[in-house]
């Protein structure tokens, strides 16, 4: 009746349930009746001993039971059952992806930026959050378009028809905003004469890049990949550098940099540490 996958999950549910009771009884400091009644009633009558272990074991039991019922309702997702579902004699195959898709990498870089942002400050966090949002939208559009028809070229055209009106202005806004922000930071940091130089060099670079885009409007896949990699590494590298440097001091007296932030947990000196192995 039940197949291997469901059997495993039902077994896990049983083990989890018995373990939850045994664990609660073993860690309870109540009388024998209460220490058994407690775990059986989810703590409603009597105690459950160590709440952490008990909660986790009960969750294991319930969730593996749910997963077991779910899987057995799908007949363990057996190919024959799936073929029947779509009215075919053989189950449809999952095709291998054949085109390059950079959204997983961009998503991962965005997640890494988010991680750095959690440590360093809001700028990287916002960059990561924006990157992740864009990734989700683009990924969803791509996944949908890939299943629109049986012709990959038509699917590409459909995706572009939907996404270009959003992507092109969006990319332009992000590009301009990024450049303005970056140049403004550089100008702030430079002396007067340096600012004049930057003011001359930046438009020249723009002109050169614009010419390159017109001369070679379609970039190779490898060039796109390389640009993504360099851009991603630059963003993360900048974030880690910011973590090393700490918060920049603005104006006023220049205080000595401190590694900890205000309000954080007091950090113990290494000599005070007690090393416990295994737990």
Partner 1 sequence: MAVTETPPETVETASAAAPSAPHPQPGGLAAVLGSGDHKVIGRLYIVAALLLGLPVLGLGLAFGVEGFEPETLDVFSSDVAYQLFTLLRVGTLFLLAFPLIIGVAMVVVPLQVGSRSIAFPRAAAASFWGWFLGSILLIASYAINGGPGGGSANGVNLWIAAMGLIVASVLLAAVCLATTVLALRTDGLSLERTPLFAWSVAIASIMWVFTLPVLGGMLVLMYVDHRHGGALALGGSAGIYPALAWIFRNPQIYVLAVPVLGFAADVFATASGSRQRMRGLVQGAIGVFGAVSFGAFLAIPSTDALDSLLVVVLGIAAVVPVLVVAGGALDAVRGSGSLKAGPGVAYAAAGILMLVVGTLAGAIGSIPGVLEVPEGSSASSNIFFLGITHAVVVAAVIAALGGITWWASKVGRGPAASSVGLVAPLLLLVGGIVMTVPDFVSGIVGDGVETQGDYAGGIAAANVVVAIGVAIVALGLLAAAVSLLPLLRRPDDEVPADPWGGQTLEWLAPSPPPVGNFEGELAVVASAEPLYDLREEK
Partner 2 sequence: MSDAAALALPPAAPPARPRVLLVGTALAAVATLMAFAGVIGLYLAERASVLSQGGTWLPEGTSIPLTPGGIAMATMLLSAVTMWWAVDAVGRNDRPAAYLALALTMMFGLAVINAISFLYTQMELPVASVPGVFIYTITGGFIATLVAAMAYAAVMTFRTLGGEYHGRDREGLVAAALFWYANIAVFAVIWYAIFVTK
Question: Considering the rule CB under 8 A, would residue 136 count as an interface residue with partner 2?
Answer: yes
Least distance to partner 2, CB of residue 167, Å: 16
Task: List the structure tokens of 260.
Answer: 């900890």
Please identify which residue in 48, 116, 127, 134 interacts with partner 1, judged by CB under 8 A. Answer: 116
d(CA 232, CA 138): 18
d(CA 186, CA 77): 58
In the complex with partner 2, the residue whose CB is nearer, 20 or 242, is: 20
* Residue position matching structure tokens 């490898």: 222
Specify whether the CB–CB gap between 136 and 260 falls below 8 A: no
Nearest one of 163, 131, 133 to 146, comparing CA atoms: 163
Distance of CA 113 to CAs 18, 109, 136, 233, 245, Å?
Answer: 43, 6, 16, 10, 17
Tell me the three state secondary structure of residue 210.
helix
Give Rg (Cα) of the chain.
29
Q: Choosing among partner 2, partner 1, none, which partner's interface includes residue 170 (Cβ < 5 to 8 Å by kind)?
A: none
Q: What is the dihedral of CA 188, 192, 197, 200, to 10 degrees?
A: 80
Least distance to partner 1, CB of residue 32, Å: 15
Q: Which residues contact 90 (CB under 8 A, 6 or more apart)?
A: 79, 83
Question: Considering the rule CB under 8 A, would residue 41 count as an interface residue with partner 2?
Answer: no
Which residues in 31-60 contact partner 1 (CB under 8 A)?
Answer: 49-50, 52-54, 56-57, 60
Please identify which residue in 104, 194, 210, 231 interacts with partner 1, judged by CB under 8 A. Answer: 104
Question: Considering the rule CB under 8 A, would residue 66 count as an interface residue with partner 2?
Answer: yes
Please identify which residue in 32, 44, 95, 254 interacts with partner 1, judged by CB under 8 A. Answer: 95
Least distance to partner 1, CB of residue 209, Å: 21
* Residue position matching structure tokens 């990699």: 229
Which residues in 72-101 contact partner 2 (CB under 8 A)?
Answer: 74, 77, 82, 85-86, 88, 91-95
Question: Considering the rule CB under 8 A, would residue 197 count as an interface residue with partner 2?
Answer: no
In the complex with partner 2, the residue whose CB is nearer, 50 or 167, is: 50
Please identify which residue in 41, 99, 101, 149 interacts with partner 2, judged by CB under 8 A. Answer: 149
Specify whether the CB–CB gap between 185 and 195 falls below 8 A: no
Question: Considering the rule CB under 8 A, would residue 63 count as an interface residue with partner 2?
Answer: yes
Question: Considering the rule CB under 8 A, would residue 54 count as an interface residue with partner 2?
Answer: yes
Binding positions for partner 2, rule: CB under 8 A: 50-56, 58-60, 63, 66-67, 70-71, 74, 77, 82, 85-86, 88, 91-95, 136, 140-141, 143-144, 147-151, 154, 263
């Amino acid at each position: 009746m039940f197949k291997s996958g469901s059997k495993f999950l039902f077994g896990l549910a049983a083990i989890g349930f018995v373990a939850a009771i045994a664990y609660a009884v073993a860690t309870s400091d109540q009388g024998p009746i209460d220490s058994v009644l407690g775990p059986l009633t989810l703590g409603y009558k009597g105690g459950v001993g160590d709440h952490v272990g008990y909660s986790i074991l009960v969750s294991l039991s319930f969730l593996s039971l749910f997963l077991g019922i779910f899987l057995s309702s799908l007949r363990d997702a057996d190919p024959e059952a799936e073929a029947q579902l779509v009215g075919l004699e053989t189950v449809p195959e999952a095709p291998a992806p054949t085109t390059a898709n950079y959204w997983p990498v961009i998503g991962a870089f965005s997640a890494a930026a988010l991680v750095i942002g959690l440590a360093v400050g809001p700028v990287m966090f916002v960059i990561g959050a924006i990157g992740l949002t864009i990734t989700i939208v683009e990924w969803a559009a791509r996944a949908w378009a890939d299943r629109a028809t049986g012709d990959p070229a038509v699917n590409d055209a459909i995706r572009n028809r939907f996404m270009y009106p959003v992507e092109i202005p969006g990319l332009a806004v992000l590009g301009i905003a990024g450049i303005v922000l970056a140049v403004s930071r550089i100008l702030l940091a430079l002396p007067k004469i340096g600012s004049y130089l930057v003011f001359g060099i930046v438009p020249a670079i723009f002109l050169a890049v614009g010419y390159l885009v017109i001369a070679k409007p379609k970039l190779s896949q490898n060039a796109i990949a390389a640009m993504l990699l360099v851009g991603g590494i630059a963003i993360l590298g900048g974030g880690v550098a910011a973590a090393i440097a700490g918060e920049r001091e603005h104006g006023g007296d220049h205080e000595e940099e401190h590694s900890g932030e205000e309000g954080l947990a007091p950090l113990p000196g290494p000599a005070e540490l007690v090393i416990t192995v295994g737990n």
